[in-house]
Structure 1
């Protein structure tokens, strides 16, 4: 089981990004959601612009049915799919993989994720069955660091993906979670030529 990029569409404004519908099969998305909701070993993380629970997927004891999430096949498919999508001729290399949970009014304020060459692209995979607009937790894209610069909004649709190029211009945020728990798999990559060059 690997991520699917067949329905991905690259957009350049307000920064290079790509919605990826159907990146996971419905069955796999359901299994991931069940584990994240009922069994995953969450740890609270508090930073200046957000508060959320997190898991490192590379260190977590994934159940056998979800071992694919950190497998070489899955990661390689993500690296190759994103490299083709964003025209990265030298390829991409996984930097880290994690899962995030937002609940109870938690929000992520406007930021750009830019820390230099250590990270260049991020892939978000949403696992939120039945999520609706009124639940909050909306991914918002901005043309700058001011809230008035809002350009687009995405609902975290179950089994969908969202990829973007990290830069000083990749301003985004997540609105407050009003109802339920919002779960996301987060794969971060850097520019490189092979997985062995981490």
Structure 2
């Protein structure tokens, strides 16, 4: 693997669309540096420490990126300076001041798995989220769509986003931030999920 420690892996993240209703979110066509994405996909498929997690609204494989033994080529993903730049991009995109702490988790959906409608709200929890989609080229028949809702009614769909590899969705978590991932029928759907916390006045 090449050593990519001098690269800012998140430099390409630029929102192409910002939306305020039903909640604040943005969409980006590209996020990760072009040299990082194939190396990351290879590692996620072959060596990542996946563990099955089941809750009341999803079943998927995941692991904490901060606890993983990342290869040198991917160390830039957790570099504090690179993450600080990513946090500033989130602040600019959503207009909120964010604390330095960032949580980073990788998710994997296999055929048959899905994530039911939810809003990510929990007391004392994260306040903003960035999800980067990664895969080998899923098509519509494979499913795995990121779905945004106008309410907590699963029939009240606001928008459906294809799981285009390298694309990203960032949003402010609120009681209205209802979203889901439709059932995966083919292929493998990876995501990197970054959780941010609103900066509190001292």
- Is residue 55 of structure 2 the alignment partner of residue 52 of structure 1? no
1:130 alignment partner in structure 2: 137
User: Is contact 2:109-2:189 (8 Å) kept?
Assistant: yes
The residue number in structure 2 matching 1:169 is 176
User: Structure 2 length as normaliser, TM-score?
Assistant: 0.90
Contact 2:104 2:192 in 1 (8 A): yes
**1:50-86, Cα deviation, whole Å (9 max, x unpaired):** 0000010010000000011111122111110000111
Find the partner of 1:67 among 65, 75, 85.
Answer: 75
Distance apart, 1:117 and its partner CA: 4.0
CA deviations on 1:99-118 (whole Å, 9 max, x unpaired) are: 00001210100000001342
Provide the aligned length of Structure 1 versus Structure 2.
194
Within 1, Cα distance between the matches of 2:130 and 2:84? 13
In structure 2, the gaps of 5 or more residues are 1-7
Aligned counterparts of 1:21 and 1:154: Cα–Cα separation in 2 = 11
The correspondence for 2:166, drawn from 151, 159, 163, is: 159
Q: After TM superposition, what 4+ stretches of structure 1 lie above 4 angstroms from structure 2?
A: none
Equivalent in 172, 185, 188 of residue 181 of structure 1: 188
From 42, 54, 63, the counterpart of 2:50: 42
Structure 2 CA distance for aligned equivalents of residues 6 and 45 of structure 1: 31
Does the residue aligned with 1:10 lie in a helix, a strand or coil? Answer: strand
